[in-house]
Amino acid sequence: MYYTLFSIPVFATILSGTGSMGALFGYITYIDLMNNMGHCNFELVPKRLFQIFPVLKYLMYTPSYHSLHHTQFRTNYSLFMPLYDYMYGTMDSSTDKVHETSLKRKEETPNIVHLTHPTTLESIYHLRLGFAWLAARPYTSKWYLWALLPVTWWFMLVAWICGQTFVVERNMFNQLKLQTWAIPRYSFQGEELNRSGKLYIQKHPKLKVRVVDGSSLAVAVILNSIPKGTKQVLLRGNLSKVAYAIVQALCEQGVEVATVCRHEHEKLKLRFGSKFPNNLIISRSFSTQVWLVGDGLRKDEQRKAVKGTIFIPFSQFPPTIVRKDCIYYTTPAMMTPKAFQNMHSCENLLPRKVMSAWRVAGIVHALEEWNSHECGEIMLDTEKIWLASLRHGFQPVVVPAHN
């Protein structure tokens, strides 16, 4: 089994509003959500929730509760509040037993597990468990999601009580079973997860599971996105494991890596200065045509770029689009093969059938049956994993995110 570790950032704007129309819209939305949950044919409500808050048993129904109405016909009439069935004696006597039985499903053993987590309050709605039609499109902020705030806080409460990962997507590819697990924590960040992975494999040297953070393929995708013939790139944003690996690869190819911040230049010099004394330079201008950007890129810096500048992100957070006369590439990603099944959701801002390089790396790692981990300082050969991904049908994303 393989665990791919990285964060899927979901960018959302929480809008607030007041007034009777907003309250009415929120109430209607709540009813719609409850109705969808009752007919989803999949038990979502854990038994532990009713044990901690017994009163909820009378105030909310479950998919298994409503299923008895369709099989027994004369019981469990209430759509949203079972309280009325208790009051009028129409509660099916097998309701509790059916609920417990529904939760005891035969567990599927996946070959690959991809770990992710929500980053904003609204992230849950961009999963297939939330709104499938939102999940099937690249993320765009929706003004009406503010009306769901009461439900959002409810989901947060349930996640806090349960505190367990849950499966949000199942895929198949070349006989491999893949699952995406969501960690119900909002403060779980990618760099911390990677360091924790390093500590975990150090603690368990005989671990049979291979931990893959996907940095090597992310580096390979970025290196192959840089236009051929480029002699100099401008590096901007917070330095990371991926950034250092890109700088080393470019310097080995004879490409100059320029920075405009002295402290970033000093960090690079400290790490690579003795190997590449002439390839690391500090620039006083922003005239370089190719920018490699990470977290921390400011809007005012983008405005200083010359017309036609290419912005290539090396982090999972794409930069905010400021210039219409420049080219913005997607975060490191690849198009999935046609044989990849059940991929109905979009990853963050990526279009359908496009998967982040960090996630693709875990799949390629399993297909190649490599035995090494990739976490912490451990990196794989970028050219090797790039060619392996192409061999298995993954293709570069040839269209930039924005023009």
pLDDT higher at 102 or 129:
102
CA quadruple 57, 58, 62, 65: dihedral sign: positive
Q: Rounded mean pLDDT of 21-50?
A: 69
Predicted local confidence at residue 166, as pLDDT: 78
Q: What is the pLDDT of residues 141-186, one digit of tens each?
A: 777 777 777 777 777 776 666 667 778 888 999 889 999 888 777 6
Does CATH number 3.30.300.30 belong to domain 226-328?
no
| DSSP element (H, E) containing 153 | helix 149-162
- Using a pLDDT cut of 90, give the percent of the chain over it: 33
pLDDT of residue 14: 27
DSSP 3-state of 392? coil
Q: What is the pLDDT of residues 328-371, one digit of tens each?
A: 999 999 999 999 988 888 888 888 899 999 999 999 999 999 98
What 3-state DSSP class applies to 84? helix
Q: What is the pLDDT of residue 163?
A: 67
CB 237 within 8 A of CB 376: no
Rounded Cα gap, residues 246 and 382, in angstroms: 10
Report how far Cα 91 is from the mean position of its chain's Cα atoms. Answer: 41
Say which amino acid occupies 251.
Answer: C
pLDDT in tens, 56-65: 888 888 888 8
Q: Name the band, by pLDDT with cuts 50, 70 and 90, for residue 25.
A: low
Q: How many CB atoms lie within 10 A of CB 19?
A: 8
113 strand-pairing partners: 3, 179
> Residue 126's pLDDT is what?
77
pLDDT of 192 strictly over 90: no
Rounded to two decimals, the pTM is 0.73
Kindly list the domain boundaries of the chain, sorted by start residue.
20-103, 226-328
**How does DSSP assign 341-384, residue by residue?**
B---S--TTSPTTEEEHHHHHHHHHHHTT----B-TT----HHH
Which of 82, 104, 94, 115 has its CA nearest to residue 2?
Answer: 115
pLDDT at 331: 92
Answer for the pair 115, 189: CB distance below 8 angstroms, yes or no.
Answer: no
Calpha distance 373→83 (Å, rounded): 53
Q: What are phi and psi of 183, to 5 degrees?
A: -95, 120
State both tokens at 156: 């947060």
- Each residue of 240-288: pLDDT tens digit? 899 999 999 999 999 999 999 889 999 999 999 788 888 999 988 899 9
Of 216, 199, 200, 220, the closest CA to residue 208 belongs to: 200
* CA distance linking residue 150 with residue 315, whole number of Å: 33
If pLDDT is split at 50, 70 and 90, which confidence band does 216 have?
very high
**Residue 10 above 50 pLDDT?**
no
Mean pLDDT of the chain: 82
